[in-house]
């Protein structure tokens, strides 16, 4: 175990150095991600200055909702960049090199690369939004709420990581899944920036039971904020984020273990 932890640290150190080799460029690219993702938040902010609230959610509460979405993605992408880009790894034939190395395939994919620009940009925005909104949404921050928040963040990271692992595994069969990734992850993620109660029941069903982004930020935020629109959902949902995260990741991992046996090199 100590050897595995040491090797993970070495991988992470080397990857970070490679991404930040040119410091000015690294800062500017991270800032570009930060500003790009801030655009949607700024639009919502100025919209609510005109309309006051969105289905009972005021400006700071929506910023708090967004903070969970960006913070979990910022952490997740540190570990799952290799899965996000796994299609390129398969198509180029580079996955064959991972197979020949005396380490677990998933371990190598997780620790051999990390998109630090996206991590800093998304995670930094999430942290800024949290700092701006956390003290203005009526949450009493104590040991209980702090522990719940940290567990919810970990669960949100696992949920999104599980989706990336599932989509990465499909590349073993399909070789090209960019359209599926756009449809099932990035497009669904856009809905998660808003209270799910504003959407049609069909959309709510999808982001609760199929692509459960509601457990990434909406239900954790509801546990802390207790908004009136939570009345339409079971109270148990407030506590299920880590359970959903662990369950999804285990299922995605089993799918990965089963599928990798059928991998056939694509050549180069």
Q: DSSP labels for 102-140?
A: SS-HHHHHHHS---HHHHHHHHHHHHHHHHHHGGGS---
Q: What is the pLDDT of residues 117-166, one digit of tens each?
A: 888 899 999 999 999 999 899 888 999 999 999 999 999 999 999 999 99
Higher pLDDT, 262 or 149: 149
Question: Is position 268 within any domain?
Answer: no
**114 within 8 A of 20, measured Cβ to Cβ:** no
Q: Taking residues 85-92, what's their average pLDDT?
A: 82
Whole-model pTM over 0.85: yes
By mean pLDDT, which of 35-49, 70-84, 148-162, 222-236 is the weakest?
35-49
User: What is the C-alpha to C-alpha distance for residues 34 and 3, in angstroms, rounded to an integer?
Assistant: 35
Question: Is position 71 within any domain?
Answer: yes
* DSSP H helix total and E strand total for the chain: 13, 0
CA angle 163, 169, 170 (to 5 degrees): 95
Cα–Cα distance list, 98 to 20, 85, 86, 111, 183 (Å): 24, 14, 12, 12, 28
Give the distance from CA 200 to its chain's centroid.
Answer: 24
By mean pLDDT, which of 13-27, 38-52, 78-92, 193-207 is the weakest?
13-27
Q: What is the pLDDT of residues 8-19, one digit of tens each?
A: 677 677 777 776
Residue 11 has a pLDDT of 64
Average pLDDT of the chain?
Answer: 86
Least Cα distance to 90 among 175, 20, 200 occurs for 175
User: What is the C-alpha to C-alpha distance for residues 103 and 111, in angstroms, rounded to an integer?
Assistant: 11
Compute, in degrees rounded to 10, the torsion defined by CA atoms 189, 17, 28, 80. -10
In 20-104, which ranges are continuous DSSP H helix?
23-51, 59-84, 86-92, 95-100
Question: Is position 267 within any domain?
Answer: no
Cα–Cα distance list, 235 to 116, 223, 245 (Å): 36, 9, 18
The count of structural domains within the chain is: 1
Compute, in degrees rounded to 10, the torsion defined by CA atoms 191, 195, 200, 202. 60
Question: Is position 58 within any domain?
Answer: yes
pLDDT category at 42 given cuts 50, 70, 90 is: confident
User: What is the C-alpha to C-alpha distance for residues 90 and 147, in angstroms, rounded to an integer?
Assistant: 39
Structural domain harbouring 205: 2-262
Residue 220 has a pLDDT of 96
User: What is the C-alpha to C-alpha distance for residues 9 and 3, in angstroms, rounded to an integer?
Assistant: 10
């Amino acid at each position: 175990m100590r050897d595995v932890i040491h090797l993970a640290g070495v991988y992470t150190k080397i990857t970070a150095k490679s991404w930040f080799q040119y410091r000015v460029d690294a800062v500017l690219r991270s800032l570009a991600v930060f500003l790009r993702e801030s655009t949607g938040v700024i639009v919502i902010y100025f919209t609510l200055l005109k309309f006051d609230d969105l289905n009972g959610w005021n400006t700071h509460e929506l910023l708090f909702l967004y903070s969970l979405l960006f913070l979990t993605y910022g952490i997740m992408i540190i570990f799952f960049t290799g899965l996000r880009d796994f299609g390129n790894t398969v198509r180029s034939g580079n996955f064959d090199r991972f197979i020949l190395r005396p380490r677990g395939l998933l371990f190598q994919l997780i620790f051999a690369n990390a998109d630090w620009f996206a991590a800093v940009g998304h995670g930094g925005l999430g942290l800024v939004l949290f700092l701006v909104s956390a003290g203005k949404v009526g949450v009493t921050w104590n040991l209980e709420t702090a522990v719940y928040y940290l567990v919810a963040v970990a669960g949100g990271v696992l949920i999104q990581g599980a989706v990336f692992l599932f989509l990465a595994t499909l590349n073993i069969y399909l070789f090209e899944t960019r359209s599926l990734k756009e449809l099932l992850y990035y497009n669904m993620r856009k809905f998660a920036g808003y209270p799910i109660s504003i959407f049609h029941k069909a959309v709510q069903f999808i982001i609760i039971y199929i692509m459960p982004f509601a457990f990434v930020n909406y239900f954790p935020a509801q546990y802390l904020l207790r908004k009136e629109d939570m009345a339409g959902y079971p109270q148990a949902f407030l506590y299920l984020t880590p359970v959903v995260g662990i369950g999804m990741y285990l299922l995605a991992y089993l799918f990965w273990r089963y599928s990798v046996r059928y991998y056939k090199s694509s050549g180069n």
